[in-house]
A and B are shown apart, each in its own frame.
Chain A
Amino acid sequence: MTNDPMTKKYILKPGKHQFAPGSHATHHNDNLTDAEAEWYLERYPHIATLFEATPFPEVKSVKSPKIKSVKPSSQKPVKSKKNEDLPATN
């Protein structure tokens, strides 16, 4: 239950934060230990954005979906009919 700023894993962004809507804004770096941070993160995952970029082993980060390269389909491209092959309509 250390709160040493040099060894802390979970660093809050500046300010006093509410962790739940409507609660009193009491949480800041000076009073939040790593153990507390993990407890709150588990129950209120939305607060992950309130922390500076620190490793979150428990919180799954939302990865942007990988864009797969579109392979050319194995089907042969269907050649469009030439104008002269089209049936005359008039």
Chain B
Amino acid sequence: MSIYNKINAGFALGTAEPVTSGIEDVIYIFNQDDITLTFDTTNPLIVTGLTTVSAAKIYKFNGTNNSFNTISKLAKTSVGPRYTEEIDFNIAGLSVDIKTQLQAMGYGRVCAIAVNNYNASDSAIELFGAVNGLILTDAERSAADETMDGGYKLKLTNPDKLREPYPPRAVSIAPESGSATYVSTIAAIEALVAA
């Protein structure tokens, strides 16, 4: 049995790759039922593969001006740490199609992949909602709001009474040959994005 409650490494501060804040202005969202995940054999925090069920796809939501955000927060419980997850993003548009997607995200469960601005680490690309999925809990459009200029302000979170048992997973997908990199992972995700 693996030793799950003993730390085995520290952290040294350095100037080679200082951490930076923010995520890129893109969120990849897919229906939880549409994609199966492959995890690293020894570390369940690493997702090494995404496999679509039939013709399922990943959908890409673009934004601008560093306006997307992800939050992962530990919640202490009687049975160990759990994690609440939030993804704040927006849609700079207004259409029936957008409303349809937002309505679907309110009913069904989705998973979301965010790309950190800090991409020098092996956790640059993170998957949220891997176990219990996420649902849309805030979808606000204030037509006269100057900050959003009539766009949709959105938030994906864990469904009621559910939290994730792990921190956000790192997505790290290798190319056909060689080891996984930031670029190979983005390429693998983009290959599944709906045209």
The residues of A with any CB-CB pair to B shorter than 8 Å are: 13-23, 25, 28, 44, 46-47, 49-50
Alpha-carbon distance between A25 and B38 when the two chains are bound, in angstroms: 7
A13 to B35, CA, bound (A): 17
- Measured CB to CB, the nearest residue on chain B to A45 is B54
B 45-74 contacts with A by CB, 8 A? 48-49, 51-54
Q: Is the CB of A46 within 8 A of B53?
A: yes
Chain B residue at smallest Cβ distance from A14: B41
Residues of A within 8 A of B52 (CB): 46
**A21-B40 contact, Cβ under 8 Å, with A15-B49, A46-B51, A46-B53:** no
Q: List 11 A-B contacts (CB under 8 A).
A: A16-B44, A18-B36, A21-B35, A22-B32, A22-B33, A25-B38, A46-B52, A46-B53, A50-B38, A50-B49, A50-B51
Taking A25-B37, A25-B38, A47-B51 as given, write out 11 further A-B residue pairs in contact, using a Cβ cutoff of 8 Å, ordered by the A residue number.
Answer: A15-B39, A15-B41, A16-B41, A16-B44, A17-B39, A17-B49, A22-B32, A46-B36, A46-B51, A46-B54, A50-B36
Contact of B48 among A14, A19, A22, A44 (CB under 8 A): A14
- In the complex, which residue of chain A has the Cβ closest to the Cβ of B36? A18
A residues in contact with B33, CB < 8 Å: 21-22
Number of interface residues of B (CB under 8 A): 18
Contact B38 A15 (CB under 8 A): yes
Q: How far is the CB of B39 from chain A (nearest CB, A)?
A: 5
In the complex, chain B residues whose CB is within 8 Å of the CB of A28? 41
Binding site for A on B (CB under 8 A): 32-41, 44, 48-49, 51-54, 133
Q: Which residues of A contact B48 (CB under 8 A)?
A: 14-15
User: Judging by beta carbons under 8 Å apart, are B39 and A25 in contact?
Assistant: yes
CA distance A50 to B36 in the complex (A): 10
Q: Using Cβ atoms and an 8 Å threshold, which residues of chain A touch B34?
A: 21
Closest chain-B Cβ to A40's Cβ sits at a distance in Å of 11
Contact of A15 with B51 at beta-carbon distance under 8 Å, contacts A21-B34, A22-B33 already known: no
Residue in A13, A14, A22, A50 with the greatest tally of chain B CB atoms within 10 Å: A22
Give Cα A49 to B37, complex, Å.
Answer: 12
B145 to chain A, nearest CB (A): 36
Q: Which residues of B contact A19 (CB under 8 A)?
A: 36
Residue of B nearest to A49 (CB): B51
Given contacts A21-B32, A21-B33, contact A15 B40 (CB under 8 A): yes
Q: Smallest Cβ distance from B49 to chain A, in angstroms? A: 6
